[in-house]
């Protein structure tokens, strides 16, 4: 049986969660032995809608996407729920619906709405007191104590490190199980966040974003309990599909990429065809 995320927080080492955005990526990750999945807003907007992560995707689309992933995997799913899609009532409803759809952790952030990707410039944040109310609403909405609430702050580039850490500690006092400062620019900032935050911290390794890439072992030594790779599949898939498109345009065939293909039979096995044929 897969251990709960809550129990893993007190276990050895950090939880490493890999980005996934649909049933296929969830199945691939589970078969490969990935421990947990991160359902990120950037990947959802990009893969499902071909849109940037600037608040264009709403609660209903996220809930449906999580429901589809849950049907394909038993792995824990950590869900990026942007700003909670509203104020106090929105955060409550978002947490309740995502938990019902199969989320094991719900993450909300303190940006104004419409939000933007945490690694983009020009972010704005709501007052700390407003976010505290949203965190309390999310905590109250969950039916199971096993469901984690993650409070993310995007204040670092807006109000500075000291205020961001103070915000995270206020969110922890409001009941957040983990706190998440997005887009630190230096290793020193990562270390200060881990040292001074009162709840277990989350580290975001968005490889082509604004933050340095830090080995998970180093993040664990700092005190990080959850390390996410939220959009790595997007960087890889975009490059792979671009290569495919160029090959087809150039050669009018896919032969040049044949050594990269997963076989028809292997994909069918991954999708559980044998189970459906035996029903």
Count of CB atoms situated within 10 Å of the CB of 111: 24
Over residues 104-150, the pLDDT tens digits come to 999 999 999 888 776 767 789 999 999 999 999 999 999 999 999 99
Q: Are residues 116 and 202 in the same domain?
A: yes
Q: Are residues 210 and 258 in the same domain?
A: no
Burial of 85 (0-12, 13-18, 19+ CB in 10 A): buried
User: Do residues 214 and 205 touch, judged by C-beta distance below 8 A?
Assistant: yes
Residues in contact with 129: Cβ distance below 8 Å, sequence separation at least 6, in sequence order: none
* Domain ranges, residue 243: 232-279
* Predicted TM-score of the model (pTM): 0.95
Q: Are residues 10 and 88 in the same domain?
A: yes
Q: Are residues 102 and 136 in the same domain?
A: yes
Over residues 233-261, the pLDDT tens digits come to 999 999 999 999 999 999 999 999 999 99
Over residues 33-83, the pLDDT tens digits come to 999 999 999 999 999 999 998 889 999 999 999 999 999 999 999 999 999
The CATH number covering residue 219 comes to 3.20.20.60
């Amino acid at each position: 049986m897969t251990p709960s995320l809550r129990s893993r927080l007190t276990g050895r080492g950090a939880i490493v969660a890999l980005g996934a955005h649909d049933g296929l990526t969830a199945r691939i990750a589970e078969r490969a032995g990935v421990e947990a999945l991160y359902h990120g807003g950037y990947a959802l907007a990009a893969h499902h809608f071909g849109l940037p992560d600037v608040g264009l995707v709403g609660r209903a689309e996220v809930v449906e996407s999580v429901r589809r992933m849950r049907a394909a995997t038993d792995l824990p799913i950590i869900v990026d729920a942007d700003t909670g899609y509203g104020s106090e009532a929105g955060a409550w409803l978002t947490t309740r619906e995502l938990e019902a759809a199969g989320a094991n952790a719900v993450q909300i952030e303190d940006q104004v709405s419409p939000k933007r990707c945490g690694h983009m410039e020009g972010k704005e944040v709501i007052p700390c007191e407003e976010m505290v109310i949203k965190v309390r609403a999310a905590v109250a909405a969950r039916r199971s104590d096993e469901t984690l609430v993650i409070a993310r702050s995007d204040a670092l580039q807006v109000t500075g490190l000291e205020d961001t850490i103070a915000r995270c500690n206020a969110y922890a006092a409001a009941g957040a199980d983990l706190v998440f400062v997005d887009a630190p620019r230096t290793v020193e900032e990562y270390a200060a966040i881990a040292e001074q935050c009162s709840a277990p911290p989350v580290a975001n390794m968005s490889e082509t974003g604004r933050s340095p890439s830090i080995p998970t072992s180093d993040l664990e030594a700092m005190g990080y309990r959850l390390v996410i790779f939220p959009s790595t599949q997007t960087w890889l898939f975009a490059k792979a599909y671009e290569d495919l498109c160029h090959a087809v345009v150039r050669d009018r065939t896919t032969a040049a990429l044949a050594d990269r293909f997963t076989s028809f039979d292997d994909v069918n096995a991954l999708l559980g065809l044998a189970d459906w044929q035996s029903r």
